[in-house]
Structure 1
Amino acid sequence: MRYMATYDFMETMRNTNQWLGATATAMASSPAMALFPNPAIQWMAAWGEVTERSFQRMIVKPDWHIDSFTCEDGKDHIVNVNTVVERPFGDLIHFDVSGRKPMDRKVLLVAPMSGHYATLLRSTVKSLIPDCEVYITDWHNARDIPVSEGKFDIEDYTLYLVDFMKELGADTHVIAVCQPAPLTLAATAYLAEEDPKAQPLSLTLIGGPIDPNAAATDVTDFGHRVTMGQLEETMIQRVGFKYPGVGRMVYPGLLQLYSFMSMNADRHSKAFSDQIMRVAQGEASEHDAHNRFYDEYLAVMDMTAEFYLTTVERIFKKGEIAKNEFVVAGRKVDIGKITTVAVKTVEGAKDDITAPGQCIAALDLCTGLPDNKKASHVEPGAGHYGIFAGKSWRNNIRPLVLEFIDANSPKPKRKAANKNAA
């Protein structure tokens, strides 16, 4: 499958389905159809509307949609999304609330690069802005990065995190969500040896596969079941002529989306059939629950082939982080060298992506860290998404994380966390 033709074929199929949806809507909305009153015509229009929207948003990077924030003065302040560090494969950005004094808490959110854009953490960002200066890693779509920029694997990713932490300084608190948790732990250990003064104050790891073998899931089973040769042959394609990254080997976003949705095919099928009926009956709206979720979920990005393959091979198959054998730029990273950075793990009791046990393994690896610098939390009834963006995050986990940040800051915070944050 490592050809431009297969990549372009997938894009052609996506574009065709988008066109079919638009055509169905146009036909069913024609005034001539009023001559043939039939519920099937309303259904066809609804099917077309949902289909066109679904396939169109697969290639569009979502906007942050964080325009303003009401501060203590009762006024709405503009939120500017500023680029702090600009790099070929990802930027460090800051959500700057105009006219607001800098907050005591400085937080770096490390977003996953696992098929979705950093905007997947939009609700997480919005919930932290009232109480923190929020920074986030904004990873780029590999199809838009010219081949001349070179490779980007998990070692490069780790070094990007090292640079971002150095840029923000030692008064930073890092929160890594899902996929980047093991690499963020490695980046912190790398700093512990290279530049100890640049280490963050605390590190919170949320639902990350530190030790994938600690608790089996469909994801870990897949990682062990397939060979690297099979993955390279069936998952990797070459970007077509339409994009700036023409010729780059990638794991395509559309292929990732198929994998995501096939894991819960029945649930997704029902969600779309129900939405079509709601549209047909006039009960749907532009920003209803279905559209809010799928506008983000269906927006996918390509990963570089080397990042995807090294993640599977070194994190899941060989377990280099779990065995404390990870090497970056020829240097073995010893997680036991972390001695001052407080580490907290957060897991969801019903997480079927990163099951409980996988993330808390980080605490055992931090052999040089005293027990009073370690913490863990398992959220009852929470799935993977809920521990960083759902009600479980807003109502239970977020306050605990802010308390952990405050407890590991050089001076106590005078102001309590805003419990009414979005």
Structure 2
Amino acid sequence: MRYMMAYDMMETVRNTNQWLGASALSLASYPAFAGLPNPALSWMAAWGEVTERSFQRMIAKPDWGIHTVTCADGKDHVVEINTVVERAFGDLIHFHVSGREEQPRRVLLVAPMSGHYATLLRSTVKSLIENCEVYITDWHNARDIAVSEGKFDVEDYTAYLVDFMRALGPDIHVVAVCQPVPLTLAATAYLAEQDPKAQPNSLTLIGGPVDPDASPTDVTDFGHRVTMGQLEQTMIQRVGFKYKGVGRKVYPGLLQLSSFMSMNMDRHSKAFADQIGRVAQGEASDHDPHNRFYDEYLAVMDMTAEFYLSTVERIFKNREIARNEFVVNGHKVDIGKITDVAVKTVEGAKDDISAPGQCVAALDLCTGLDESKKASHLEPDAGHYGIFAGRSWRNNIRPLVIDFMNANSRTKVAAE
């Protein structure tokens, strides 16, 4: 019960701050105050506007915001988001471009379950949807999943990926970003043994911890310093009474967000102070750079306790993927069984989350794969987010990934 009280206390603090922001904005906006030449009222209204928006975003799932795409015919086509596979902990969705012929290049994006929604890959989707049929894993917020749905850990996550790949068929290219990289590699190896005909054409692994010890970071060091007992006692709570998943053990999104913010508190504090100043001076807008970034950054989701704890213990501490000893539903997965799926790794030279060396370790594990089907790329001057979003991705990495897909397609695709 104390864990539920702690969860509800965090939600109460968030709700209170949202209310304070709304109250400050409303009070400072009274028409009766319009005749008072006091800049304090403008600053009070600005503080209220920024505060209300920030704390409200913490419980809101961002919209994809992908409404149209300009195709090769020069016309804008409407984008429809359709659910292909619906499951309790996550769906497989498809971005269908109306009025366009189905593209031969079909891509499955495996989004991370690491505190943020799959919409974190919005720009990645936008860059691929122009000439690809894009599918993505859309993971659900654990607080909204009833306890009766059971557990969800790294083995369940891997099993979901296996099911999604089977549903899409073999003529797909899989791109995994960040946290799910090692589990996507395991899912592909599982298919190589259990259902070879369902294997994808290619597998692109972007900035993920296949071998966390290959190049230690603060993230991996934290995993080694803290015991599993300490993690469970300090990070795990039960969902409070407000949500459908009441009683489910989770790693709360609000607790994750506090950890994210604390790592760069000075930068975040300055960003919000500057935004308040811009709002007070009438220089801000609903979709300015600050709001575009923080609307996504502040939107956090709860992870199931089993998934979080098993990730730390099995991927980081025990290095089961790195040592090729990962087990799914009682079956020991052998990554060396991957022989037909081309594998490419992408790393950022300045990635301080999954440092260079952690992801490329996947190629050494693919002992049964011919060297001609292996590729790697190290993007200079790119950080963690830069390797799947932003200029480095658009200008340098995306073209290489597309070329890799084309070169390893069973169905011939016209080059760009």
Question: Same fold per TM (> 0.5)?
Answer: yes
Residues 198-234 of structure 1 deviation map (CA, whole Å, 9 limit, x = unaligned): 0001000000000111111111111111100000000
Residues 93-116 of structure 1 deviation map (CA, whole Å, 9 limit, x = unaligned): 000001111101000000000000
Write the distance in 2 (CA, Å) between the matches of 1:390 and 1:73. Answer: 25
Q: Judge conservation of contact 2:71–2:131 (CA < 8 Å) in 1.
A: no
Show the counterpart of 1:420. none
1:24-173 map, 5 Å: 24-173=24-173
Residues 68-98 of structure 1 deviation map (CA, whole Å, 9 limit, x = unaligned): 1122333322111000000000000000001
Write the distance in 2 (CA, Å) between the matches of 1:198 and 1:246. Answer: 37
In the TM superposition, what is the alpha-carbon distance from 1:55 to its structure 2 partner? 0.2
The letter for the 1-side match of 2:179 is Q
Show the counterpart of 2:231. 231
The letter for the 2-side match of 1:339 is T
The letter for the 2-side match of 1:225 is R
Show the counterpart of 1:216. 216
Write the distance in 2 (CA, Å) between the matches of 1:334 and 1:30. Answer: 67
| Mean Cα deviation higher: 395-404 or 40-49 | 40-49
SS of equivalent to 2:58: helix
Write the distance in 2 (CA, Å) between the matches of 1:402 and 1:288. Answer: 31
In the TM superposition, what is the alpha-carbon distance from 1:2 to its structure 2 partner? 5.8
Show the counterpart of 1:240. 240
Write the distance in 2 (CA, Å) between the matches of 1:205 and 1:312. Answer: 20
In the TM superposition, what is the alpha-carbon distance from 1:124 to its structure 2 partner? 0.4
Write the distance in 1 (CA, Å) between the matches of 2:415 and 2:338. Answer: 30
1:4-403 map, 5 Å: 4-403=4-403
SS of equivalent to 1:389: coil
The letter for the 2-side match of 1:337 is K
Show the counterpart of 1:419. none
TM-score where L is the length of structure 1:
0.97
| Mean Cα deviation higher: 291-300 or 407-416 | 407-416
Change (3 A) 1:215 1:360: same
In the TM superposition, what is the alpha-carbon distance from 1:34 to its structure 2 partner? 2.8
SS of equivalent to 1:193: helix
Residues 279-300 of structure 1 deviation map (CA, whole Å, 9 limit, x = unaligned): 1111111101111111111000
The letter for the 2-side match of 1:320 is E
In the TM superposition, what is the alpha-carbon distance from 1:376 to its structure 2 partner? 0.5
SS of equivalent to 1:250: strand
The letter for the 2-side match of 1:271 is A
Write the distance in 2 (CA, Å) between the matches of 1:345 and 1:177. Answer: 10
| Mean Cα deviation higher: 241-250 or 70-79 | 70-79
The letter for the 2-side match of 1:379 is E
In the TM superposition, what is the alpha-carbon distance from 1:47 to its structure 2 partner? 0.9
The letter for the 1-side match of 2:320 is E
SS of equivalent to 1:36: coil
Write the distance in 1 (CA, Å) between the matches of 2:306 and 2:30. Answer: 49
The letter for the 1-side match of 2:31 is P
Q: Judge conservation of contact 1:2–1:236 (CA < 8 Å) in 2.
A: no
TM-score where L is the length of structure 2:
0.98
Write the distance in 1 (CA, Å) between the matches of 2:355 and 2:203. Answer: 20
Q: Judge conservation of contact 2:203–2:342 (CA < 8 Å) in 1.
A: yes
The letter for the 2-side match of 1:200 is P
In the TM superposition, what is the alpha-carbon distance from 1:415 to its structure 2 partner? 4.2
Write the distance in 2 (CA, Å) between the matches of 1:257 and 1:284. Answer: 24
| Mean Cα deviation higher: 85-94 or 29-38 | 29-38
In the TM superposition, what is the alpha-carbon distance from 1:301 to its structure 2 partner? 0.5
Write the distance in 1 (CA, Å) between the matches of 2:35 and 2:133. Answer: 59
Give structure 2 stretches of 5+ with no counterpart.
none
Write the distance in 1 (CA, Å) between the matches of 2:340 and 2:102. Answer: 25
Give structure 1 stretches of 5+ with no counterpart.
417-422
SS of equivalent to 2:152: coil
Write the distance in 2 (CA, Å) between the matches of 1:53 and 1:84. Answer: 33
Q: Judge conservation of contact 2:406–2:415 (CA < 8 Å) in 1.
A: no
Write the distance in 2 (CA, Å) between the matches of 1:215 and 1:46. Answer: 44
Q: Percent identity?
A: 80
Q: Judge conservation of contact 1:153–1:304 (CA < 8 Å) in 2.
A: yes
Write the distance in 2 (CA, Å) between the matches of 1:165 and 1:236. Answer: 31
| Mean Cα deviation higher: 38-47 or 82-91 | 38-47
Paired positions, count: 416
In the TM superposition, what is the alpha-carbon distance from 1:267 to its structure 2 partner? 1.2
Write the distance in 1 (CA, Å) between the matches of 2:313 and 2:47. Answer: 41
CA RMSD of aligned residues (A): 1.0
In the TM superposition, what is the alpha-carbon distance from 1:33 to its structure 2 partner? 2.2
Q: Judge conservation of contact 2:171–2:411 (CA < 8 Å) in 1.
A: no
Write the distance in 2 (CA, Å) between the matches of 1:197 and 1:412. Answer: 18
In the TM superposition, what is the alpha-carbon distance from 1:35 to its structure 2 partner? 4.0
Q: Judge conservation of contact 1:237–1:249 (CA < 8 Å) in 2.
A: yes
Q: Judge conservation of contact 1:107–1:172 (CA < 8 Å) in 2.
A: yes
SS of equivalent to 1:3: helix
SS of equivalent to 1:84: strand
Write the distance in 2 (CA, Å) between the matches of 1:65 and 1:37. Answer: 40
The letter for the 2-side match of 1:29 is S
SS of equivalent to 1:59: coil
Write the distance in 1 (CA, Å) between the matches of 2:406 and 2:35. Answer: 67
Write the distance in 2 (CA, Å) between the matches of 1:410 and 1:151. Answer: 37
Write the distance in 2 (CA, Å) between the matches of 1:413 and 1:140. Answer: 34
Residues 144-189 of structure 1 deviation map (CA, whole Å, 9 limit, x = unaligned): 0000000000000000000000011111100000000000000000
In the TM superposition, what is the alpha-carbon distance from 1:413 to its structure 2 partner? 2.3
Write the distance in 1 (CA, Å) between the matches of 2:36 and 2:97. Answer: 55
In the TM superposition, what is the alpha-carbon distance from 1:410 to its structure 2 partner? 2.2
